[in-house]
Structures are given as C-alpha cells and as structure tokens.
Structure 1
Amino acid sequence: MDFELILKNIKKHIALNEAEKRYFTSQLRERSIAKKEMLLEQGNSCRNIYFIRSGSLRAFYPTQEGKESTIMFGIADWWITDMYCFINQKPALLNIEALEDSRLWSLDYNRLQNLFIEIPKFERFFRILMQNAYCREQLRALDNITFSGAERYTRFVEKYPLISEKITQKDLASYLGITPEFLSSFKRKKEAT
C-alpha cells in the first residue's frame, strides 16, 4: 500500500523511525467512497478520523429549515472528521459527503488512543493539527464578522484555489454564509470588469 502522502503529512510535525512508521501504518484502514456518498451521517457514531488520500469532501450541518450549512471542506493531504463528536465519542452532529470519488485512510478512536500510548509523539502531532484547526476556525469567525460576503468569497478563492475549483457554487455560498444568488451575481459583476 502507498503510505507516502500520509507519512509526508506526519513528517511536517514529527519524525518517525522505520518501526514507528510500520506501527502507525498498521493502524490505518483503507476506505473508498463514491461521489455523493456519505462518509458520516448526523446521529451515527463518529468513530473515525480520516486522512484524505485523493478526492474531496464536505462537512455540513442540516438545519431544521432543511438547508445545509457547510462547516468545512477537505481535499487530498487533509484530515477530516466531526471533531467534537470524535473526541467525545458522541453521535455525529455533522454529515460528511464525498464531493468526488475519494480514497481515505481511517484511524478509529481506540487505535488512536493506543497510538498515543505506543508512540507518544503522536500526541504532539494531533495537538498541532487541533491548534491549526482552531486558529483556522477563529480566523474564519473573524472574517465572517469583519468582511462582506463578496470579500469573504475573494479571500476564500485566494486562500484555497484548489478547493474552489472542486466545489459547487451552492456549497461555497453555504460555507461563506451567503446565498447562491448573491454569489452568482457577484461573480458575474466581477467577470464583467
């Protein structure tokens, strides 16, 4: 199996020797999902954190009004889960859907806990992931209260060009907290100038 991408991701924050790499990769489970397939559904057990090998996913919250509020996207070389529910072993609050055919490595909660015991430096790795995610969400919250919908769109496309190419306008509008109609109108005006 090809573990190169995930090991390169790990290497950004911690160094593993060959025995540690073997142990870590032995804990992973391979998963493939088709476009539009649900990786996680609200209310189901959230037992896994996923590393995206290829493809893209979207985590969203279905509102009582039947709308979807996109919480995050994930592309190759990123991690994704319903983190609150994963850490606390609670039923999922979010849905995670494949935006295209995707290949993943999964690591279940118990294996992750064992990994922390067997190779303690993984606590550092996942702490750094959580810190980065927290900072990203804090900056997103600040963007939402500071910038207009048009400015948030421009900043998103500049920061995440690979994601903006893969997602629908509806999903992007949902993430930005604007309507698809507003986004469409803004994009038309921008293209006309």
Structure 2
Amino acid sequence: MHFQPLLNYIAKHVALTKEETDYLVEHLHYRRYLKGQYILQQGDVCRTSSFILKGCTKLFYVDDTGTEHIIMLGVEDWWTSDIGSFINQTPAEFNIQCLEDTELAQFHYDTIEEIFERIPKLERFFRKVTERGLAAALNRIIRNFSMTAKDRYLFFRATYPKIEQRIPQYMIASYLGITKEFLSKIKKQVAQES
C-alpha cells in the first residue's frame, strides 16, 4: 500500500481503528512528482498538506532580486506545505519543488475538515505535528541569530546527516543563510580539525 509509511507515522502518535484507517485511506491522494517538478508555486493557493513517502523537497522563497532563500528541506516521513496558504486558502508565499523523484500522501483542504469530524483524534494529531513544526521553526530562528555559520553547519550536519548527501552544497548554503563559497571554507576548516 502506498500510504503505509504515513499510517506507520500516525500510529506512533495515535491509534486508529481499522474503520478509521480505511476511511482515512479513502480520502488520501497519492501523487508522484519528478525531480524538478513543483508541488506549489508562489502565488498559487496551497490546496494540500503533503506527507513525503519517498523523495526530497525544498520549500523556498524567491525575493524581488530573484534570489532563492531555502526555508525548509523535506525527506521521507516529513511534511511539506505552505501552512499559511493551506490554512487560510490565500496565495502562497513559498514554492515547493522536488529535489528527487518524490511520492506524496496528500490531504486536500476540501476534505480535511470532514476527516477531522469523522476521526477527531487526527485533529489532535495534526495539532501536535503543527506545534512541533512551529517549535522547530522558532528554534531555527534562534540558531540563526545566536550561532556562528560554522556552528549552524555543524548542527545541520549532526541533526540531518542523510540530507547533506542528497542535495547540492549551494542549497545547504542557502538553507544556512550563507554563500556556497563560505560553506566551502567552513567545510575545509571542519575537515582540518577532524
């Protein structure tokens, strides 16, 4: 079953009956995207909240000068969405693009309330997922203010060791808020210290 990774993830937090699981699966959508395809583009309304079954994504903003700022990376068992656009059904501030061929389990805005009414424990589950995502985002802001670029890189490498091997260095630099040249210097320094 395509959705088994999502069901396993949910089971770590809440127990669903067979009937609830069947109902949920009926209301999920499975989507495959090729590397480079967009799940969402700035200005479009985000109609889905997506769980990554397989693959890698980036959530990013393009400023008025055309510079790309990577806000979040996503891999298996992570969520990806422009949460503000999804909740408010307003134009997205961010783009979501696949960095690898990617498979998603998607919850559509039009049916998520119906799912919550039928399975109230999923509403609690999504609240917990959202709270954890908000806490992680706030902690990242604090790290960006209080840590050196080298320490941010070391934290990224220690926390997400498998992501570094899957994406280009310039994207890691963008995520860390530094240039790829500066990241290269940091990596050389870290290698010399090892």
Instruction: Give the TM-score normalised by the residue count of structure 1.
Output: 0.97
Render the CA deviation track for 1:97-139: whole Å, top value 9, x for unaligned: 1010111111111211111111111110000001100110111
SS of equivalent to 2:49: strand
> In 2, distance between residues paired with 1:144 and 1:3?
35
Aligned-partner Cα distance in 2 for 1:174–1:63: 13
The answer as to whether partners of 1:13 and 1:128 remain within 8 angstroms in 2 is no
Letter in 2 for 1:55: G
How big is the shift at 1:29?
Answer: 0.8
Percent identity between the aligned chains? Answer: 39
Secondary structure at 1:66's aligned position in 2?
Answer: coil
Cα distance, 1:146 vs structure 2: 0.8
1:39 aligns to what?
A: 39
AA of the residue aligned to 2:155: R
Matches within 5 A, 1:103-118: 103-118=103-118
Larger mean Cα displacement after TM superposition, 83-92 or 183-192: 183-192
Cα deviation code 1:42-90 (max 9, x no counterpart) = 0112100111110000000001111111110110111110001101111
Contact 2:41 2:92 in 1 (8 A): yes
Name the residue aligned to 2:135. Answer: 135
Equivalent-residue separation in structure 2 for 1:190 and 1:138 (angstroms) = 27
Please give the secondary structure, in 1, of the residue aligned with 2:143: helix
Deviation at 1:2, TM superposition (A): 3.0
What TM-score does the superposition give when structure 2 sets the normalisation length?
0.97
| Offset at residue 38 of structure 1 (A) | 0.9
Report the AA paired with residue 129 of structure 2. L
Equivalent residue, structure 2, for 1:188? 188
Aligned positions, number: 193
1:71 alignment counterpart: 71
Say whether the 8 Å CA contact 1:57–1:96 is kept in structure 2.
Answer: yes
In the alignment, what sits opposite 1:84?
Answer: 84
Superposed counterparts of 1:47-66, under 5 Å: 47-66=47-66
Consecutive unaligned residues of structure 2, counting only runs of 5 or more, are none
